[in-house]
Amino acid sequence: ESTAVVIVGAGPAGLTLGNLLLRAGVECVVLERRSRAHVEERQRAGVLDHAGARIFEEWGLADGVLAGVPGDGGLEIRVDGEPRYLDFAELSGGRTGRLIPQQMLVRRLMGAFEEGGGDLRFDAGEVALHGLDGDGPWVSYRDGGGVVREIGCAYVAGCDGHHGVSRASVPAGALTTYSHDHGIGWLTVLADVPPPRRPLMAVASEGFAAHFPRGPMASRFYLQCAPEEGVGDWGEERIWAQLRSRLGDAGLPAGRITEMSVVEMRSFVVDPMRFGRLFLVGDAAHIVTPMGGKGMNLAIGDADVLARALRAAVREGDGEGVAAYSAVCLRRVWNYQEFSRWLTEMTHDAGDVRVAGEFRRQLARARLERLFSSGAAARAFADLVAGG
């Protein structure tokens, strides 16, 4: 069997790429290791930025994928319990994002892909990539029935996340990796609690906390913790007490906790995002901390750049976009790594004095204050939130 592009992984990167290639008239097969049910239920990100929403609009997918999805109008930053607001619609000239839980976006992308005749295969075990540095790569896997299959192709898109097989298939030394540990811990809790009126971040002396919407009846919370702390160090009572105190929200109801984990506050980038005929897309090539909400958006942005490049290569024999893929994506990746790091540092240094000491705490507070006293600083922030 053969196709033009084998896409490994059906997360936001793989499903966006699959849909765009379908629209571009480029044949592809998507191989996903997990079951359909697992992929449909995996809750992670919650904000599609303006640049991400534009991609779906430009490719004619917005009507199906973004129908009924509310806009991301702004952000509240509560400093020691005092509310401060940033109105992104006003600050960015209307370039607002959308509040869509990741699993809803994934489900809709799966629906659009399959309705359009896309070939999406779940439960693909033992995926292996072959001949990546030659002209005719192929991908093997074991299907749900235990049969080993091979698909020949012109290109492979590694959209299989940070722990996938794609990056691991590149010979040692071919890629340069950059990683950074931000030196803080984050506990995240998904709970059946009504969402806040607008996304909320809180800077407090006990540490950073955040309350974000995840659909009409669910919320995602983040709590800064010591880097060595684990889920076992946080009982429910402590979680709700700390959230109420840091968020300055004494009336916050304690809802059923549906998921709880420690987030690795780590950044990672590979350069180049390509080896031979393999292209790394989304988390397979880079991870950014959840701070700033850019991980899913970078994945969608990479998929857009790659879809355009593959359309030109496969349909017109024009390899320019394919050659430029990595450099084009890495410019944006580093810009948003910096945004995420800047926001992390400001909101954490400004809170718990043990994080960075009193001098840096005052600097971080001055930086934070500038967002509310300088229109230019606020607009620069809103511009990065909008993406591009």
Comparison of 167 and 311: residue with beta carbon closer to ligand FAD: 167
Comparison of 39 and 307: residue with beta carbon closer to ligand FAD: 39
In angstroms, give the least distance from the CB of 246 to ligand FAD: 18
Q: Which residues contact 120 (CB under 8 A, 6 or more apart)?
A: 10, 18, 30, 32, 110, 113, 114
- CA 230 to chain centroid, in Å, comes to 23
Burial of 227 (0-12, 13-18, 19+ CB in 10 A): middle
Q: Please list, residue by residue across 232-257, b when 16 or more beta carbons sit within 10 angstroms of its beta carbon and e when fewer do.
A: eebeeeebbebbbbbbbbeebeebee
Q: Is the preceding peptide bond at 227 cis, omega within 30 degrees of 0?
A: no
Phi, psi of 86 (to 5 degrees): -120, 120
In angstroms, give the least distance from the CB of 374 to ligand FAD: 26
Comparison of 91 and 110: residue with beta carbon closer to ligand FAD: 110
Contact status, residue 191 vs residue 185, Cβ threshold 8 Å = no
Comparison of 102 and 242: residue with beta carbon closer to ligand FAD: 102
In angstroms, give the least distance from the CB of 360 to ligand FAD: 26
In angstroms, give the least distance from the CB of 173 to ligand FAD: 22
Q: In 3-state terms, what secondary structure has residue 77?
A: strand
In angstroms, give the least distance from the CB of 369 to ligand FAD: 25
User: Which residues in this chain contact ligand FAD in the complex, by CB under 6 A?
Assistant: 8-14, 31-34, 39, 44-47, 102, 124, 127, 159-161, 164-165, 188, 263, 282-283, 290, 293-297, 299
In angstroms, give the least distance from the CB of 126 to ligand FAD: 8
Comparison of 122 and 240: residue with beta carbon closer to ligand FAD: 122
Phi, psi of 369 (to 5 degrees): -60, -35
In angstroms, give the least distance from the CB of 36 to ligand FAD: 11
Comparison of 287 and 361: residue with beta carbon closer to ligand FAD: 287
In angstroms, give the least distance from the CB of 353 to ligand FAD: 27
| Residue of 2, 4, 1 lying closest to 27 (CA atoms) | 4
Task: Please identify the residue of the shown chain whose CB is closest to the bound ligand FAD.
Answer: 11
| Residue of 100, 6, 11, 3 lying closest to 302 (CA atoms) | 11
Phi, psi of 135 (to 5 degrees): -90, -15
Comparison of 33 and 78: residue with beta carbon closer to ligand FAD: 33
Comparison of 8 and 21: residue with beta carbon closer to ligand FAD: 8
Q: How far apart are CA 297 and CA 282, in angstroms?
A: 9
